[in-house]
Structure 1
Amino acid sequence: MGMSGRPDAHLPRERSALRLSLVASAVLAVLGVGWGMAAGSQAILLDGVYTLIGMALTSLSLRAARLMDAGPTPRYPFGRESLAPLVVGMQGLVLLGTCVYAALDATRVILDGGVEQVSPGSMAAYGLLTAVAALAVHRYLRRSDPASDLLDAEARQWWAGALLSLVVLTGSVLALLFSDRLGSGPQRYLDPVLVLAACLLLVPQPVRMIRTMAVELLEGAADQPVQQAVSDRVDRVGAQFGLGQPALRVGKIGRKLYVEADFIVEAGCWDIADEDRVRREIASQLTDLPYDVWLNVELTTDPTRLR
């Protein structure tokens, strides 16, 4: 049984938020690449390239959102929600690859003796500007649709971008404060060291995104808070009908939440109409969850169903 626990109004909101993210990415990508090349800063250039890659991935997310919003079709009778974790995982893999490449390049620069001195003032100005912009977009995405995996991945990208900008800002401010004491020698390593620090901070984000893809595509259990929310509602209905503890399975793929509840009953005491009443009541209890819930409820005399 399929039922939507998520208002249709959320769907255009998701696409609208992705479009805004795409426009913001385009602006900051051009700014970052241009500023980085003009200032000769690898850290700023990394930020710009990171945002540029994010822009391409946002376009992919937008396309995936349109396909998922189309719902079930004769060719895809259960919809195409698997696109959500697939796109999230692709984003994670690309971003992880970007971090690894940047870290290796920064290490090479350090071993080669650093780079020509980059103006800390210019880097600080860039870091402040882009950090504020990234945090603003991140906040907007988080508030647009908390149940959207695509917006969650998008928000993670912006949070990672904000961290990168804050690393650039912090390092530049420290360089300005201690430039007289350090001299020009250590400042040659400022840019690659900032790149390495940023990569270390960014890596957990794509790793989590890749893990999300693996768990959902392999039909793993939903996160504990989601499972608990479903379990509480199913248990409440079970108690209402005098049923025992069910075998409950909860899986999630994108916006779709699969719920299967099997109750063991005595032979001859329940019929199909009773099962329908239990199913309808559980369905009613789950409507407040922000997912498209696909529910299956079974009353059975077979105790092996609880295994």
Structure 2
Amino acid sequence: MAVGGVVAIGLTTTGCPQLAGLVDPILVLIACAGIAPMAVGLARDGVRELLEASPDEALRGRIAAAVADGLGDALTPARASTLPPPTIRSTKLGQRLYVEVDFIVAKGEWQVDEEDAVRLAITERLDALGLLVWPTIELTTNPALAAD
């Protein structure tokens, strides 16, 4: 803005006042061009959140890491190896993060206290993401319950 003011004063003093009148509209166009990409990005992200789209790839990676770290904290390596890879679903709406983690396990293989330890460890790791996390962690023997 200061540079634009100096240019306008310079044009006025050099005998081109009609060009000095264009400085302000040109500055407005430059400001709009600078702000437009940010506004479009914010609108796109807002619509994605309202449509409950999956969070961005960086956050999905942090969620997967939190799940893996939580399993490492809750179980011995031998016991953790008996769990299949989880199905992880997530969506973010503002500062609220909804995460569903489903494990399909064999019947009679898991005790409720082990399941609780997995839930607590994963939830603790997800809480460290700095968002309001709404976690759902399930161990089920029925694949239909974990289907999309």
Q: TM-score, normalised by structure 2?
A: 0.78
With over 3 angstroms needed to count, the CA separation of the structure-2 counterparts of 1:170 and 1:224, relative to structure 1, is farther
1:197 to 23, 30, 33: 30
Contact 1:255 1:292 in 2 (8 A): yes
**Aligned: 1:237 with 2:77:** no
SS of residue matched to 1:219:
coil
Tell me the CA shift for residue 303 of structure 1.
4.0
Instruction: Measure the CA separation in 2 of the matches of 1:261 and 1:254.
Output: 20
**Higher strand proportion (structure 1 or 2):** 2
1:267 to 101, 104, 107: 107
Contact 1:235 1:245 in 2 (8 A): no
Residue matched to 1:227: 60
Contact 2:105 2:140 in 1 (8 A): yes
Q: TM-score, normalised by structure 1?
A: 0.41
Residue matched to 2:2: 169
Tell me the CA shift for residue 176 of structure 1.
4.3
**Higher helix proportion (structure 1 or 2):** 1
Instruction: Measure the CA separation in 2 of the matches of 1:200 and 1:231.
Output: 37
SS of residue matched to 2:24:
helix
Contact 1:247 1:262 in 2 (8 A): yes
With over 3 angstroms needed to count, the CA separation of the structure-2 counterparts of 1:170 and 1:190, relative to structure 1, is same
Contact 1:246 1:306 in 2 (8 A): no
Gaps of 5+ in 1: 1-167
Residues 165-220 of structure 1: CA deviation (Å, up to 9, x unaligned): xxx23322344456666732321211111122222222222222222221111111
Count of equivalent residues: 140
Q: CA-atom RMSD, angstroms?
A: 2.4
Q: Counterpart of 2:120 in structure 1: which amino acid?
A: R
Instruction: Name the larger-Rg structure.
Output: 2
Contact 1:238 1:245 in 2 (8 A): no
Contact 2:70 2:124 in 1 (8 A): no
Tell me the CA shift for residue 265 of structure 1.
1.5
Q: Counterpart of 1:245 in structure 2: which amino acid?
A: P
Contact 2:87 2:102 in 1 (8 A): yes
